[in-house]
């Protein structure tokens, strides 16, 4: 995954955090949902984002919410989906 | 109401737990129960329950004594037996009592869906206190507005909750309980003396039994959206909670073999039923971790759950992630949905995924203790739908509850006629904290009987089944959260610097609100800036997805805001290309 795409994921995650008035920085490996920084509504928005902006089809890759817990995990899901195509 | 602060025994300056005062307490009844258990004799319970105690923890205690080795709780990756659960709850209660808290004390719980949260609810009940759930994701101003009004005697916070408490709020809390010694040490040194680590409680004997409670002792106070922009606290007495738990226990008919979910955040009142009902039955409770919240299929299979409960919104999320596959949830035998209307398409999707499961559509406002009516749909059967709405009927009242559809004169209307749904019976709560006028407006005594007026428009069909048709005001349900649109409008007015503000549910699918749109007129603040400012004062689920600036707001023939015209504007926008 190139830097621009990674930036795009980070920017989207930052926007979700800001909806919770959370302006603190986050690392790519940092757990976001399991730490309570993102709620289920945010994860649903994240799924829509992956479907719309990265054309991920969750009927083709198994949806494991655990993998959307970090920016790195999100990037891996996208990569894995691309490898399938 | 008697408050702990008025009691001369309230002593927040006691030494930390585990100090010289922490010797075992003499508790004859608890010892009697334990020795009866060991000797294989019948328990001396019955007299106690029929006598006076309305403490929901008493039946949990009985279960702990009866089946100490069985699994009681799975949370944060840890399994606790009933004996572990009893010890931890009793030690927490003992610590609270030694710190001067007793029956009637108020304990804030700034924790959710964690081991700490579960122990906090049980420990607070054990000592006869009122628990007050605080939202770990509330914006600080909302949290502080609640803290200022409820006057807590202690706060139990988990790691996530602790991060939310500003130093200013911590100063006002007499006693703070945190999960670990590490968390305690991370606090400013000035707070160490009044902070207790839950890890340190092992020094207590844990022999204390739940404190007997009276019927009108408050079990909990839960805050919900208020029309003025300030959340209102609903006060639920122990008797109302016990009536609700008994009704729910009957519907779920759990056995010690059952494995039940804890899905709901503590600030959303169904959590209280999720927690206590399995523990009354000797079943096990499994707290769904945050990452599994949108798609729990894997968790349900891994934990082999037989009982599930959530908001209907979950079905939509699982369908969106293609994780609600037919036949994929074979272990479930009972599922309840509540908090918002349940679309018929969702019932069908769930029945396909969980073919062995009952689907129970539960209905009720917080003011009548979680839920007070339900439609039980057996596996393979079709749900009774509410005509024209595509949603399941709310069914019939729980035992001990009476429902009536009232006309404008507050007299019941005939079957098939519309009116406002009113609730009477054992589950009706004590009203709103510190708001006697609001309480008097919604809780009415009619012909000697106390009714809560729900604001829901409803009808009773000729078969006696109740149907909800919408609201008589501007309250909406979003992802199970109850939201007064006026609450949002009050905050938008503030940040937009204009009186001309209208919030509405948008879009609405199958009678269920999916988001919020907001219109502003005569504001000099850009919509994007308004949204940014709102983030600091509103919880995320209340943030408008869309803010539209208009020159003026449309006014209808009656001189009131024309909400229908605003909805038309949104519908046109949704249809136009590029929108």
- With CA atoms as reference, the chain A residue closest to B542 would be A19
Looking at CA atoms only, how far is residue A52 from chain B in angstroms? 12
Check residue B30 and give its pLDDT.
52
Q: Is B72 a member of any domain?
A: no
How buried is B163 (Cβ within 10 angstroms: 0-12 exposed, 13-18 middle, 19+ buried)? middle
Q: Say whether pLDDT at B528 is over 90.
A: yes
Q: Report DSSP letters for chain A, one per residue.
A: --HHHHHHHHHHHHHHHHHTT------TT--STTTTSS-HHHHHHHHHHHHHHS---TTTS---GGGGGSHHHHHHHHHHHHHH-
Q: Say whether pLDDT at B139 is over 90.
A: no
Mean pLDDT on B415-426: 97
CB contact under 8 A, B294 and A59: no
Q: Say whether pLDDT at B27 is over 60.
A: no
CB contact under 8 A, A59 and B292: no
Check residue B171 and give its pLDDT.
79
Mean pLDDT on B104-126: 96
Check residue A66 and give its pLDDT.
81
Cα B305 from Cα B336, distance rounded (Å): 13
Q: Say whether pLDDT at B1 is over 50.
A: no
Q: Is B21 a member of any domain?
A: yes
Mean pLDDT on B508-512: 79
Q: Where are the beta strands (DSSP E) in B407-515?
A: 419-425, 431-432, 443-446, 449-460, 466-471, 475-478, 481-484, 501-505, 508-509, 512-513
Looking at CA atoms only, how far is residue A57 from chain B in angstroms? 9
- Whole-angstrom CA distances from B367 to B110, B360, B390 are 22, 20, 26
Q: Say whether pLDDT at B211 is over 90.
A: yes
Looking at CA atoms only, how far is residue A1 from chain B in angstroms? 23
Q: Is B136 a member of any domain?
A: yes
Cα B530 from Cα A27, distance rounded (Å): 28
Of B556, B573, B549, the residue nearest B500 (C-alpha): B549
Check residue A57 and give its pLDDT.
82
Q: Among B176, B209, B236, where does a domain finish?
A: B236
Mean pLDDT on B180-188: 91
**Local confidence band at A42 (pLDDT 50, 70, 90 cut-offs):** confident
Any B CB within 8 A of A22 CB: no
| Contacts with A69 from chain B: Cβ below 8 Å | 291
User: How confident is the model over B368-389, as pLDDT tens digits?
Assistant: 999 999 999 999 999 999 988 8
If one compares B490 and A57, the residue with the highest pLDDT of the two is: B490
Looking at CA atoms only, how far is residue A22 from chain B in angstroms? 9
**Local confidence band at B574 (pLDDT 50, 70, 90 cut-offs):** low
> Which residue in A65, A67, A73, A81 has the most chain B C-beta atoms within 10 A of its own C-beta, making it the best mutation to test that interface?
A65
Q: Interhelix angle for B527-534 vs B485-496, to 10°?
A: 120
User: How confident is the model over B336-355, as pLDDT tens digits?
Assistant: 999 889 999 999 999 999 99
| Contacts with A40 from chain B: Cβ below 8 Å | 290, 293-294, 317, 479
Q: Among B236, B263, B285, where does a domain finish?
A: B236
Domain containing residue A52: CATH number: 1.10.1200.10
Number of alpha carbons in the 13 Å side-chain half-sphere of residue B25: 19
Q: Which of B293, B536, B543 sits opposite A40 (nearest CB)?
A: B293
Q: Which of A18, A35, A65 sits opposite B292 (nearest CB)?
A: A65
Check residue B107 and give its pLDDT.
98
CB contact under 8 A, A39 and B137: yes
* Paired residues of B235 in beta bridges: B221, B431
Q: Helix or strand or coil: residue B310?
A: strand
**Local confidence band at B356 (pLDDT 50, 70, 90 cut-offs):** very high
Mean pLDDT computed over every residue of chain B? 88
Of B387, B386, B339, the residue nearest B363 (C-alpha): B339
Number of domains in chain B: 2
**Local confidence band at A83 (pLDDT 50, 70, 90 cut-offs):** confident
Check residue B295 and give its pLDDT.
84
User: How confident is the model over B384-402, as pLDDT tens digits?
Assistant: 999 888 899 999 999 999 9
**Local confidence band at B120 (pLDDT 50, 70, 90 cut-offs):** very high
Looking at CA atoms only, how far is residue A4 from chain B in angstroms? 25
What is the share, in percent, of chain B residues with pLDDT greater than 70?
89
Q: Is B556 a member of any domain?
A: yes
Mean pLDDT on B169-177: 87
Check residue B303 and give its pLDDT.
97
**Local confidence band at B34 (pLDDT 50, 70, 90 cut-offs):** low
Domain containing residue B553: CATH number: 3.30.300.30
Cα A9 from Cα A49, distance rounded (Å): 9
Residues with Cβ within 8 Å of B385's Cβ and at least 6 positions away in sequence, in order, are B344, B391, B392, B393
What pTM, to 2 d.p., does this model score?
A: 0.84
Q: Is B409 a member of any domain?
A: no
> Which residue in B115, B157, B265, B294 has the most chain A C-beta atoms within 10 A of its own C-beta, making it the best mutation to test that interface?
B294
| Contacts with B291 from chain A: Cβ below 8 Å | 33-34, 43, 65-66, 68-69
Q: Helix or strand or coil: residue B158?
A: coil
CB contact under 8 A, A33 and B293: yes
Q: Which of A39, A47, A66 sits opposite B321 (nearest CB)?
A: A47
Q: Say whether pLDDT at B45 is over 50.
A: no
Mean pLDDT on B293-305: 92
Q: If you average pLDDT over each of A61-65, B172-176, B435-439, B502-506, which comes out highest?
A: B435-439
Check residue B384 and give its pLDDT.
98
Mean pLDDT on B485-500: 91
Q: Among B189, B205, B236, where does a domain finish?
A: B236
Q: Is the peptide bond before B448 cis (omega within 30 degrees of 0)?
A: no
CB contact under 8 A, B321 and A20: no
Looking at CA atoms only, how far is residue B397 from chain A in angstroms? 31
**Local confidence band at B26 (pLDDT 50, 70, 90 cut-offs):** very low
Mean pLDDT on B19-25: 36
| Contacts with A18 from chain B: Cβ below 8 Å | 532, 535
Check residue B132 and give its pLDDT.
98
Check residue B31 and give its pLDDT.
53
CB contact under 8 A, B543 and A18: no
ipTM for the assembly: 0.74
> Which residue in B179, B310, B321 has the most chain A C-beta atoms within 10 A of its own C-beta, making it the best mutation to test that interface?
B321
Looking at CA atoms only, how far is residue A73 from chain B in angstroms? 12
Cα B491 from Cα B216, distance rounded (Å): 35
User: How confident is the model over B262-281, as pLDDT tens digits?
Assistant: 999 999 999 999 999 999 99
If one compares A52 and B238, the residue with the highest pLDDT of the two is: B238
| Contacts with B535 from chain A: Cβ below 8 Å | 18-21
Looking at CA atoms only, how far is residue B93 from chain A in angstroms? 27
- With CA atoms as reference, the chain A residue closest to B290 would be A34
Cα B198 from Cα B217, distance rounded (Å): 26
Structural domain boundaries enclosing B116: 4-66+84-236
Mean pLDDT computed over every residue of chain A? 87
Number of domains in chain A: 1
Q: Say whether pLDDT at B36 is over 90.
A: no
| Contacts with B322 from chain A: Cβ below 8 Å | 58-59, 63
Q: Which of B289, B298, B317 sits opposite A64 (nearest CB)?
A: B298
Q: Which two tokens stand for residue B529?
A: 């800036």
**Local confidence band at B226 (pLDDT 50, 70, 90 cut-offs):** confident
Q: Say whether pLDDT at B407 is over 90.
A: yes
B286-B292-B294-B297 Cα dihedral, nearest 10 degrees:
-70
How many other CB atoms are there within 10 angstroms of residue B256's CB atom? 15
Q: Say whether pLDDT at B67 is over 60.
A: yes
- B477 secondary structure, DSSP code: E
Structural domain boundaries enclosing A76: 3-84
CB contact under 8 A, A20 and B323: no
Q: Which of B320, B535, B543 sits opposite A44 (nearest CB)?
A: B320
> Which residue in A18, A31, A35, A40 has the most chain B C-beta atoms within 10 A of its own C-beta, making it the best mutation to test that interface?
A40
Q: Say whether pLDDT at B28 is over 90.
A: no
Q: Say whether pLDDT at B40 is over 80.
A: no
Check residue B35 and give its pLDDT.
55
CB contact under 8 A, B541 and A58: no
Q: Say whether pLDDT at A22 is over 50.
A: yes
> Which residue in A39, A59, A77 has the most chain B C-beta atoms within 10 A of its own C-beta, making it the best mutation to test that interface?
A39
Question: By mean pLDDT, which of A36-50, B173-187, B512-526 is the weakest?
Answer: A36-50
| Contacts with A42 from chain B: Cβ below 8 Å | 540
How buried is B465 (Cβ within 10 angstroms: 0-12 exposed, 13-18 middle, 19+ buried)? middle
């Amino acid at each position: 995954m190139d830097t621009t795409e990674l930036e795009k994921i980070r920017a989207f995650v930052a926007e979700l955090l800001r909806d919770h008035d959370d302006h603190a920085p986050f690392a790519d490996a940092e757990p976001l949902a399991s730490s309570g920084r993102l709620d289920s509504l945010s994860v649903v928005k994240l799924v829509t984002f992956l479907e719309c902006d990265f054309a991920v089809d969750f009927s083709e890759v198994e949806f494991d919410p655990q993998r959307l817990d970090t920016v790195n995990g999100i990037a891996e899901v996208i990569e894995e989906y691309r490898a399938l195509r | 109401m008697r408050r702990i602060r008025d009691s001369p025994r309230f002593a927040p300056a006691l030494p930390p737990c585990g100090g010289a005062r922490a010797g075992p307490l003499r508790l004859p009844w608890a010892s009697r129960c334990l020795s009866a258990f060991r000797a294989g004799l019948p328990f001396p319970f019955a007299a106690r329950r029929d006598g006076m105690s309305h403490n929901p923890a008493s039946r949990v205690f009985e279960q702990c004594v009866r089946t100490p080795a069985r699994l009681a709780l799975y949370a944060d990756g840890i399994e606790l037996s009933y004996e572990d659960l009893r010890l931890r709850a009793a030690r927490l209660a003992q610590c609270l009592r030694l710190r001067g808290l007793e029956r009637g004390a108020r304990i804030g719980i700034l924790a959710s869906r964690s081991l700490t949260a579960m122990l906090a609810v049980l420990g607070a009940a054990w000592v006869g206190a009122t628990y007050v759930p605080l939202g770990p994701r509330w914006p600080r101003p909302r949290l502080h507005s609640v803290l200022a009004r409820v006057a807590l005697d202690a706060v139990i916070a988990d790691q996530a909750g602790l991060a939310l408490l500003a130093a200013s709020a911590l100063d006002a809390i007499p006693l703070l309980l945190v999960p670990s010694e590490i968390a305690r040490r991370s606090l400013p040194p000035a707070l160490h003396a009044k902070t207790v680590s839950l890890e340190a409680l092992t020094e207590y004997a844990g022999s204390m039994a739940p404190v007997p409670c009276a019927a009108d002792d408050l079990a909990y106070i839960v805050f919900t959206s208020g029309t003025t922009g300030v959340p209102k606290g609903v006060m639920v007495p122990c008797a109302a909670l016990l009536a609700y738990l008994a009704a729910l226990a009957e519907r779920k008919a759990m056995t010690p073999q059952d494995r039940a979910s804890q899905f709901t955040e503590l600030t959303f009142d169904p959590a209280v039923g999720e927690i206590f009902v399995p523990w009354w039955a000797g079943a096990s409770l499994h707290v769904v971790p945050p990452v599994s919240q949108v798609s729990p299929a894997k968790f349900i299979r891994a934990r082999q759950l037989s009982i599930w409960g959530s908001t209907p919104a979950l079905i939509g999320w699982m369908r969106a992630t293609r994780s609600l596959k037919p036949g994929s949830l074979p272990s479930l035998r009972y599922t309840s949905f509540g908090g918002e209307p349940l679309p018929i398409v969702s019932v069908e999707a769930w029945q396909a995924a969980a073919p062995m499961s009952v689907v129970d559509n539960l209905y009720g406002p917080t003011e009548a203790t979680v839920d007070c009516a339900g439609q039980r749909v057996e596996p393979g059967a079709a749900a009774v739908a509410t005509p024209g709405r595509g949603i399941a009927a709310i069914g019939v009242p729980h035992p001990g509850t009476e429902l009536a559809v009232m006309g404008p004169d507050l007299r019941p209307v005939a079957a098939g006629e519309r009116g406002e749904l009113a609730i009477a019976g054992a589950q009706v709560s004590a009203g709103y904290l510190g708001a006697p006028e609001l309480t008097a407006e919604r809780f009415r005594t009619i012909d000697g009987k106390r009714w809560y007026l729900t604001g829901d428009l409803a009808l009773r069909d000729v078969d006696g089944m109740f149907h909800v048709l919408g609201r008589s005001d501007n309250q909406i349900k979003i992802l199970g959260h109850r939201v007064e649109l006026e609450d949002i409008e009050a905050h938008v007015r503030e940040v937009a610097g204009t009186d001309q503000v209208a919030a509405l549910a948008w879009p609405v699918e199958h009678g269920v609100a999916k988001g919020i749109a907001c219109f502003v007129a005569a504001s000099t603040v850009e919509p994007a800036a308004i949204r940014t400012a709102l983030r600091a004062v509103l919880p995320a689920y209340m943030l408008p997805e869309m803010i539209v600036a208009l020159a003026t707001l449309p006014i209808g023939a009656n001189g009131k805001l024309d909400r229908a015209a605003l909805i038309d504007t949104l519908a046109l926008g949704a249809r136009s290309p590029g929108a």
